């Protein structure tokens, strides 16, 4: 009724915006390009944050916090870095009513301020590795913004590590890439491709950027996380050297890696439907919602019954009960679906009499009658199954929409008629990559891990022997 969501078949962007606004995940802020993350959206972020934070700590990282304001000159110290970020900087020029001697940039990423500190903290190989993560907000003055996917200010996590060798840095870069992949697949139920970015797509200041790349329901690609091997670029820019075990002096090797509130956008676009949000149970702030169905004459008994279920279930699941009499059951069902709650329990006089409950799963809409004493076990099973189903549904979708192309005309034909991911050979030249982008809007999303060498393919554009196997797609 009042909360109609535009069907995604009709207008995918509008569908996405409708879900974000109507499920009350976020709202537009007074400042252009900024959004308010509302409690329901923030709860998802907190779920993500705690899962990731555990994984970071398990891999030996510690949290710290660095300042929001960075001296403008710091950002200019690494040549590629400044080129990449200066167009989107927000800069503070006044403080306390006076013009500042040196403008202060609001961090677009923290490599520079962190490496200025690492210079003080690292002298010896004994100080390494230094493994630090921070949870922070970032400002990037983007021309075009979109709720969660690209906002002027966003929340993220950025890991910044320092190592004694190139090999160790590379190992760390890949370790964190795999942490991201595991998180995407096991928590978000989102299958991702892992691999390298091409030269033109990599992070400003990195030697190598690795990415996890996912397919959304409109078949476009979304970069969901990146892990960078920074080589010695920042150590040189900030003059961070250490004494090696054999007494020599060397620059420190670095990595950085991050994921942001964009993940929430990915989550929405990967699983949701025309009824609203669909959340994987592992990230659902509420896993189970109980909706009592009562009439005036049996209200007390039904509510009593469902409250007993609630007390039982809340010990094991993130459970909520909606027993207000302001809204009809139908309204509550729709609301539960809009919010993406994985398992809904309906219980009225019928269930009360039979000591049962109706379980409804959000992903398929399937309804099950379950005896009260089997409820916990059944929900546990359902939750596992929903998590699984969402993952496999997304995986199947990606597979069905991943195509092979061996010549440029079929490449273009696939993009126009079917869209999705295209696997093909690439000679490695930025010129071919740029031409393809110009002519088709498709970019290299990823050079998949373990597939380097391009097998025995030839470049999709110029026909020369392929150096790489590349996955092309239109991206967000």
Determine if 157 is a binding residue for RNA (CB under 7 A): no
DSSP-assigned letter for residue 347 = E
Determine if 435 is a binding residue for RNA (CB under 7 A): no
**Encoded tokens for 154:** 């966003």
Determine if 223 is a binding residue for RNA (CB under 7 A): yes
Determine if 42 is a binding residue for RNA (CB under 7 A): no
How many other C-beta atoms lie within 10 A of the C-beta of residue 202?
Answer: 20
Cβ distance to RNA smaller for residue 145 or 161: 145
Cβ distance to RNA smaller for residue 28 or 135: 28
Shortest approach of RNA to residue 193 CB, angstroms?
Answer: 14
Strands annotated E in 85-127: 90-95, 98-106
How many other C-beta atoms lie within 10 A of the C-beta of residue 270?
Answer: 26
| Three-class secondary structure of residue 290 per DSSP | strand
User: How many chain residues touch RNA (CB under 7 A)?
Assistant: 63
Determine if 341 is a binding residue for RNA (CB under 7 A): no
Stretch that binds RNA, among 141-149, 161-169, 308-316, 392-400 (CB under 7 A): 141-149
- Per-position x/- string for 268-297, each x denoting binding to RNA as judged by CB under 7 A, each - no binding: -------xx----------------xxxx-
Residues of this chain, 360-379, that bind RNA according to CB under 7 A: 360, 365
Determine if 260 is a binding residue for RNA (CB under 7 A): yes
Dist. CA 11–CA 17, nearest whole Å: 10
Determine if 32 is a binding residue for RNA (CB under 7 A): yes
| Three-class secondary structure of residue 330 per DSSP | helix
Determine if 147 is a binding residue for RNA (CB under 7 A): yes
Determine if 355 is a binding residue for RNA (CB under 7 A): no
Stretch that binds RNA, among 235-243, 333-341, 384-392, 421-429 (CB under 7 A): 333-341
How many other C-beta atoms lie within 10 A of the C-beta of residue 81?
Answer: 24
DSSP string for 52-82: HHHHHHHTT-EE----SEEEHHHHTSSHHHH
**Encoded tokens for 428:** 């490695």
Interface with RNA (CB under 7 A), residue from 125, 203, 234, 257: 203
Shortest approach of RNA to residue 473 CB, angstroms?
Answer: 12
Dist. CA 274–CA 9, nearest whole Å: 9
Determine if 411 is a binding residue for RNA (CB under 7 A): no
Shortest approach of RNA to residue 244 CB, angstroms?
Answer: 33
Determine if 49 is a binding residue for RNA (CB under 7 A): no
Nearest to 131 by CA among 169, 99, 96, 74: 169
Angle ∠(68,71,75) on CA atoms, nearest 5? 95
Determine if 120 is a binding residue for RNA (CB under 7 A): no
Determine if 220 is a binding residue for RNA (CB under 7 A): no
| Three-class secondary structure of residue 113 per DSSP | helix
Cβ distance to RNA smaller for residue 161 or 260: 260
Pairing label, strands 62-63, 130-139: parallel
| Three-class secondary structure of residue 218 per DSSP | coil
Shortest approach of RNA to residue 144 CB, angstroms?
Answer: 3
Determine if 185 is a binding residue for RNA (CB under 7 A): no
Shortest approach of RNA to residue 216 CB, angstroms?
Answer: 12
Determine if 349 is a binding residue for RNA (CB under 7 A): yes
Contact 3, 11 (CB under 8 A): no
**Encoded tokens for 339:** 């919010």
Determine if 31 is a binding residue for RNA (CB under 7 A): yes
Interface with RNA (CB under 7 A), residue from 261, 272, 282, 306: 261
Determine if 476 is a binding residue for RNA (CB under 7 A): yes
**Encoded tokens for 326:** 């302001």
Shortest approach of RNA to residue 118 CB, angstroms?
Answer: 22
Strand ranges across the sheet with 69-71: 69-71, 98-106, 90-95
DSSP string for 361-380: ETTT--EEEEEGGGHHHHHH
Contact 287, 342 (CB under 8 A): yes
Cβ distance to RNA smaller for residue 57 or 299: 299
Site residues, RNA (CB under 7 A)? 1-3, 13-14, 17, 28, 31-33, 87-88, 140, 142-147, 149-152, 154, 203, 223, 226, 258, 260-262, 275-276, 293-296, 299, 325, 327-335, 337-338, 346-351, 358, 360, 365, 437, 441, 475-476
């Amino acid at each position: 009724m009042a909360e109609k969501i535009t069907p995604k078949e009709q207008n995918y962007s509008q569908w996405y915006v409708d879900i974000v606004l109507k499920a009350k995940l976020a709202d537009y802020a007074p400042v252009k390009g900024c959004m308010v993350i509302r409690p329901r959206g923030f709860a998802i972020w907190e779920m993500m944050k705690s899962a990731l934070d555990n994984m970071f700590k398990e891999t030996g990282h510690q949290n710290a916090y660095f300042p929001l304001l960075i001296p403008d000159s710091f950002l200019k110290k690494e040549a590629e870095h400044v080129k990449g970020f200066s167009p989107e900087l927000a800069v503070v020029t006044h403080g306390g009513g006076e013009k500042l001697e040196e403008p202060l940039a609001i961090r677009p990423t923290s490599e520079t301020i962190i490496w200025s500190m690492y210079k003080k903290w690292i002298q010896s190989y004994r100080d390494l590795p230094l493994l630090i993560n921070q949870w922070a907000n970032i400002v990037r003055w983007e021309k075009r913004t979109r709720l969660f996917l690209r906002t002027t200010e966003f929340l993220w996590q950025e890991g910044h590590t320092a190592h004694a060798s190139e090999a160790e840095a590379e190992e760390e870069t890949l370790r964190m890439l795999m942490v991201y992949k595991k998180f995407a697949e096991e928590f978000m139920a989102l299958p991702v491709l892992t691999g390298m970015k091409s030269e033109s797509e990599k992070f400003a200041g990195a030697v190598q950027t690795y990415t996890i790349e996912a397919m959304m329901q409109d078949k476009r690609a979304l970069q969901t996380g990146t892990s960078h091997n920074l080589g010695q670029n920042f150590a040189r820019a900030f003059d961070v050297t250490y004494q090696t075990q054999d007494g020599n002096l060397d620059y420190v090797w670095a990595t950085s890696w991050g994921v942001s509130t964009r993940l929430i956008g990915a989550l929405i676009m990967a699983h949701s439907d025309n009824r609203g949000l669909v959340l994987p149970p592992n990230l659902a702030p509420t896993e189970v919602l109980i909706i009592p169905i009562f009439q005036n004459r049996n209200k007390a008994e039904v509510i009593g019954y469902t409250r007993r279920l609630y007390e039982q279930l809340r010990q094991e699941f993130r459970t909520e009960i909606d027993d207000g009499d302001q809204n009809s059951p139908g309204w509550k069902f729709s609301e539960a679906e809009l919010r993406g709650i994985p398992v809904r329990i309906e219980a009225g006089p019928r269930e009360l009499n039979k000591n049962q409950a109706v379980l409804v799963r959000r992903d398929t809409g399937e309804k099950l009658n379950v005896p009260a004493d089997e409820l916990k076990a059944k929900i546990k099973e359902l939750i596992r199954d929903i998590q699984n189903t969402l993952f496999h549904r997304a995986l199947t979708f990606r597979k069905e929409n991943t195509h092979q192309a061996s010549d440029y005309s079929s490449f273009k034909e696939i993009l126009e008629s079917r869209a999705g991911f295209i696997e093909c050979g690439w000679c490695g030249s930025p010129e071919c990559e740029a031409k393809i982008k110009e002519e088709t809007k498709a970019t290299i999303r990823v050079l998949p891990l373990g597939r380097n060498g391009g097998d025995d393919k030839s470049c999709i554009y110029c026909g020369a022997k392929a150096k790489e196997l590349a996955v092309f797609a239109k991206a967000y």
